[in-house]
Amino acid sequence: MRMLALYSIKGGVGKTASAVNLAAEAAAAGWRVLLWDLDPQAATTFYLRAKPKVRGGVARLVKGKAAFDKVIRATEIEGLDLLPAALASRELDHLLADRHDNQLRRILKPVRDDYDLVLLDCPPSLSTLSESVFASVDALLVPIVPTVLSVRTLEQLRDFLDERDIPCQVWPFVTLADRRRTLHRETIAALPERWPLRLSTTIPGASVVERMGLERAPLRHFAPATPAARAYRALWEEIAQRLA
């Protein structure tokens, strides 16, 4: 079971849209995918038409007492299951702090043979939960808007990992790009030198991505021929090659 996290210190960078679209692309490619919504705002849960509720409660999940057949929900997308978020997901920080030995990969141990890939949609913060994410995943997929502030948060993340000697790979990729803007073009061109593990696919800024909130579905299900949908398809193919 491979495990990746969509993570950013900064909000508003297309993290949740990327999580949903990449999960859908992976499922379409034949991977058995579990998407775990760790963000109490539950946007991923909303996009996939599920109720924001963890049956039995978050505490039972962390303590290894949850019945996963009741917690995990099938979605309308073949091959893609969801572990939904709820407002109570905000308790994860406290619960994980009380169980220093408990990482997210360990929580999922009962279902590790059921999935090829677990994707985590994480809240934008540095916290006990995020440190547990860093310790559990094979790599962090970090969406960045090609602006100074967004790249700065990427550097802050690298500094945080280095200071704590956390050996977690960071795979940044560009989202919400507008190549008509000089700053966007210059920022994108400068990234490979500073971030050699950067994923090369760029996700364009597009109104069709915003429509996901209305359609409550990934792009491949209502706008598969759009440039944004094709970009997410190419991004997944690039990620799959690395995982292979």
pLDDT in tens, 206-223: 999 999 999 999 999 999
User: Can you give 168-205 as a three-state secondary structure string?
Assistant: CEEEEEEEEECCCCHHHHHHHHHHHHHCCCCCCCEEEC
Distance separating alpha carbons of residues 27 and 242, to the nearest angstrom = 17
Q: Check residue 52 and give its pLDDT.
A: 86
In a domain, 185, yes or no: yes
Residue 107: domain span? 2-236
Q: Check residue 125 and give its pLDDT.
A: 86
Strand-by-strand arrangement of the 33-37 sheet = 73-74, 80-83, 33-37, 117-121, 2-6, 139-144, 169-177, 202-204
Which residues is 6 bridged to in the sheet? Answer: 121, 141
Distance separating alpha carbons of residues 20 and 6, to the nearest angstrom = 10
In a domain, 242, yes or no: no
Walk along the chain (244 residues) in steps of 10 and give the mean pLDDT of each run. Answer: 96 95 98 95 94 80 81 95 78 69 82 96 90 93 94 94 93 94 91 92 96 97 97 98 95
In a domain, 124, yes or no: yes
Listed residue (169, 228, 222, 224) closest to 201, CA to CA:
228
Rounded to 5°, angle at Cα 8 from 96 and 182: 175
In a domain, 241, yes or no: no
Q: Check residue 54 and give its pLDDT.
A: 79
In a domain, 244, yes or no: no
pLDDT in tens, 123-174: 998 888 888 999 999 999 999 999 989 999 999 999 999 999 999 999 999 9
Q: What is the pTM of this model?
A: 0.94
How far is the first Cα of the chain from the last one, in angstroms, to the nearest whole number?
12
CATH number for the domain including 49?
A: 3.40.50.300
In a domain, 243, yes or no: no
Q: Check residue 99 and give its pLDDT.
A: 58
In a domain, 205, yes or no: yes
Number of domains in the chain: 1
Q: Is 66 left (phi over 0), alpha (psi -120 to 50) or beta?
A: beta
In a domain, 105, yes or no: yes
